[in-house]
Structure 1
Amino acid sequence: MEKITRNKLQGITLFFSILLLFSTACRNEKHPPLQPTLSHSQLFDKVKGAWAGQTLGCTYGGPTEFRYVGTMMQDYIPIPWSEQEVKKWFDNAPGLYDDIYVDLTFVNVFEKYGLDAPADSFATAFLRAGFPLCHANQMARYNLMRGLMPPACGHWKNNPHADCLDFQIEADFAGIMTPGMPNTAATLCDRIGHIMSYGDGWYGGVYVAAMYSLAYISNDIEFIVTEALKTIPEKSLFHQCMQDVIRWHKQYPDDWKRTWLEIERNWSEDTACPDGVQLPFNIETKVNAAYIILGLLYGEGDFYRTLDISTRAGQDSDCNPASAGGILGTMLGYSHIPECFRKALPCVEDRPFSHTDISLNRAYQLSTRHAIQEILAQGGKQEGELFTISYQPPVPVRFEQSFEGLFLKGKEPLNQSVSTFTTLDFEGTGLVIKGRIQGNGPSDYVADLDVYLNDSFIETCKLPLFFDHRKHELFFNYDLPKNTYKLTCKWTNPIPDVDIWMTEAIMYTDRKTLPPLPCPTYK
């Protein structure tokens, strides 16, 4: 009897010991040890890793940008790399680094005006910068030129590209300057990201910045990816997409291509960006953010593999590995980036990026200074060379949703000059007219295109001939009462050798519909 009792007690003890170990393991997996204390040299090394990783990732993916849309880049296709790769792009195509030089524009504002610089100062710097832009950035510049300030210039009713990835690829600065403080990073993103984005477009920047921030204090990629997502409202589509990728990674831990297929199957539809409607091209934030964390999760801390997977996923395949490389570079630190990559940087580290006066070496110095300022401003402490960070558990930002209540109804080719265009009849609640102004007129010429719906004047579309100043689309309106409409246009100030070319009409309605079958079905 005593033996049985002793055995039972031993069994119970063993059971609770196993339970305790399991419980401890689960806690450690869910909340791995954080490192909120960094020496100055460690902080500087991580800042260097952030900017260097972003530059290297952008360079690695440069040759494949938007060459693989709706398809992955298979393993048998080589991606070139050498010590001269970064220099080659600096010399011959410095515009590749558009995400970095827009990033640095905002860094420069912080340097000039301090951590509390108002949103208008960033918008003004963005407007005055001479770099060429596309999509959400281009439309934001157009809005700013006409006096529409943030957040209105990035709102989806004023910007058809509000959900595009523009801010996602430019938000690195916010995470780099806020070590272990993802909520402060989100506040900076609120101030700046609404210049060009809204909803998912803004969430992409918040999420990327939060991952950078957490990469300073954790060496656990899964924790960084998962914890940073807490800054995004759960009911948002962006959160749901990222959560799916994290879940698929657990389900298929050794097969990134299977997870890529699930992303494509479930999240590749883009009905907002006019350039991606009913096409495999996708510059929308969710899918490209999914490819960032695809590389991070399956790269498992390996710098080369992280860049390679984010690149081979396709679409914006220079910016996605740039974000992944920057986040991982922050976690590893510059000194732990593989030498075969680091060796490509010294020859360019003192060369300013295009359209800026900031080089990599200067970016390292500026962001380190800004990070120290933020650490102290947010309750952290400095003792000699040691910084203790006041860690911020992530909390969700406010909920936003672009293009709410709008559903794609169809797309119709136009392919004609506005001078020969007569009318377009459509039914719905929204309309986008794609096209361009073209020709050999004066560079400061601005065409005035009057748009009418059912013979009622709607607006005069200002169409600058200079590409950097124009709208990305000729006309758009997402706020129409549901009705049948007749669109007509009048070009009121035509000049010789210039034309306005209309390419497509995209129509929206208030409920989701399937396109009609081209021919009857047969039994």
Structure 2
Amino acid sequence: MGLLKHSELADRILGGWTGRIAGNMLGKPVESGDHWTSERIDAYLRLTDALPLTDYLPPPPAAGADGFELRPEWPQCVRGRINGSCRDDDIDYTILGLHLLETRGFAFTTEQVGEHWLLRLPYLQTFTAERVAYRNLANGLKPPLTATYDNPYQEWIGALIRADVYGWTSPGDPRRAASLARRDAALSHTGNGVYGAMWAAALIAAAFTAPDVRSALRAALERIPASSRLARTVRHTTALYEAGVGWSDALAELAKENGSLGWIHTVPNAAVLTAGLLYGEGDFTRTVTLTVRGGLDTDSNGATAGSVAGVLCGAAAIPPQWSQPLRDRVRSAVAGFDHARISELAERTVRLATLTG
């Protein structure tokens, strides 16, 4: 943190919050990776005359279009109709992590993460591994059993989407960020599910001081086992980019390698996210739009890509078509946080990031 002036740190953290929420909103209308493939997303964008994509998704054509039905939340998430963010679990967990650090400090335990969920997060706003862990907690199980008992989702993307706040509060310190994220992730995930959270937190922490996104990705890879499938996939994605393979061809190659894992698994989503970050080449708009056009868990990937890109460029450099419709407001199911100001959440995050303990 000492390498950044306070004003720059504040701008970067606000950039992370703004980018995360904007990227989440961008991807939310097409969040159904078994239906909204990359090809179908681009077909919708051609149908609505929105390629190249430089803004939130356009609304559906007035006459409708069979096969292109958006998620039910779409009226709150498409261009021209956004008035503050709509609620989403990707943002709920970021807020929950912030409050955890404020109340428990950086020495929090995995059990305290679970207590925080039970106190602050409604059960029906959890999904897959998080819902299993929540149920296990309510039945009296403790970590690590909460992650392993009757849980077929242990390597899905849920822990990765909870990791951002640990990166924002560890600027320039990927090791610390990964350690914090691992403690959180162990409540509900194992293996690549935990590594995904560690990688994402380290990536965001590295983005504060790295000269470019490739350097941040290299630093993040150092925080997870080199032999893990996640690390191998991130390296493969990077190699395709560095070899000059086009973005769509790279995605096709990666889908052949990891597609059988399903659209909510950590590994194929990390490939789409890594590709978006690399081929976005530091441009906020290009990064979030390529990531969402990559398909799979579009709102989660858009959120993480927006967080990384927002930290890299800072809030002041995020184009206004992304930030202004948010109206500095966020909807949340986390008790006490609905209609919070994004700027206030960022200020609270800055206070944590400047603590030395």
Q: TM-score, normalised by structure 1?
A: 0.59
Residue 347 of structure 2 aligns to which amino acid in structure 1? Answer: Q
Change (3 A) 1:334 1:71: closer
Distance 1:202 1:51, change over 3 A: same
Please give the root-mean-square deviation of Cα atoms over the aligned residues, in Å. Answer: 1.8
> What is the number of equivalent residue pairs in this alignment?
321
Does structure 2 conserve the Cα–Cα contact (< 8 Å) formed by 1:103 and 1:170?
yes
Residues 398-426 of structure 1, C-alpha deviations (whole Å, 9 max, x = no match): xxxxxxxxxxxxxxxxxxxxxxxxxxxxx
Residue 69 of structure 1 and its aligned partner are, at CA, apart by: 4.8
- In the TM superposition, 1:331-370 aligns within 5 A as 331-345=312-326, 347-349=327-329, 351=330, 353-358=332-337, 359=340, 360-370=342-352
Whichever structure has more helix as a proportion of its residues is 2
Aligned 8 A contact 1:200 1:238 in 2: yes
Q: Take 1:70 and 1:152, find their aligned partners in 2: how far apart are those partners?
A: 35
Alignment of 1:340-419 (within 5 A): 340-345=321-326, 347-349=327-329, 351=330, 353-358=332-337, 359=340, 360-373=342-355, 376-377=356-357
Deviations 1:165-201 (A, max 9, x none): 0011111111111001111111111211111111011
Partner of residue 207, structure 2 = 215
Q: CA deviation at 1:211?
A: 0.8
Cα distance in 2 for residues equivalent to 1:57 and 1:204: 18
The alpha carbon displacement at 1:205 in A equals 0.8
Aligned to 1:330: 311
| 1:207, distance to aligned residue in structure 2 (A) | 0.7
- Residue 65 of structure 1 and its aligned partner are, at CA, apart by 0.7
Q: Is the 8 A contact 2:23 2:304 kept in 1?
A: yes
Separation of aligned partners in 1, 2:354 and 2:2? 13
Shift of 1:151: 2.0
Change in 2 beyond 3 A, CA 1:86/1:58: farther
Q: Secondary structure at the match of 1:76?
A: helix
- Give the conservation status (yes or no) of the 8 Å contact 1:57–1:307: yes
Aligned to 2:255: 264
- Counterparts in 2 of 1:37 and 1:348: CA distance versus 1, 3 Å: closer
Q: Is 1:307 matched up with 2:311?
A: no
Distance 2:129 2:18 in 1: 26
Q: Once the two structures are superposed, what CA deviation does each residue of 1:359-408 show, in whole Å capped at 9, x if it has no partner?
A: 222311221111111xx23xxxxxxxxxxxxxxxxxxxxxxxxxxxxxxx
Rounded Cα–Cα distance in structure 2 between residues aligned with 1:50 and 1:292: 16
| Correspondence for 1:180 among 164, 172, 183 | 172
Contact 2:23 2:306 in 1 (8 A): yes
Question: Unaligned regions of 5+ residues in structure 1, if any?
Answer: 1-34, 271-275, 277-281, 378-523
C-alpha contact 2:111 2:187 (8 A) present in aligned 1: no
Per the alignment, in what secondary structure is the counterpart of residue 282 of structure 2?
coil
**Could you list the runs of 5+ residues in structure 2 that have no partner in the other structure?**
51-56, 59-77
Equivalent residue for 2:14, pick from 27, 48, 51: 48
Matched, 1:100 2:66: no
Partner AA of 2:166 in structure 1: A
Greater displacement, 69-78 / 168-177? 69-78
Letter in 2 for 1:43: L
CA distance in 1 between counterparts of 2:154 and 2:270 reads: 15
Partner Cα distance (1:86, 1:289) in 2: 30
Shift of 1:70: 5.0
**For residue 111 of structure 2, what is the aligned residue in structure 1?**
120
- Map of 1:204 onto structure 2: 196
Given the two structures, how large is their TM-score scaled by the length of structure 2? Answer: 0.85
Structure 2 residue identity aligned to 1:136? A
Runs of 4+ more than 6 Å apart: none
Rg bigger for which structure?
A: 1
- 2:230 alignment counterpart: 238
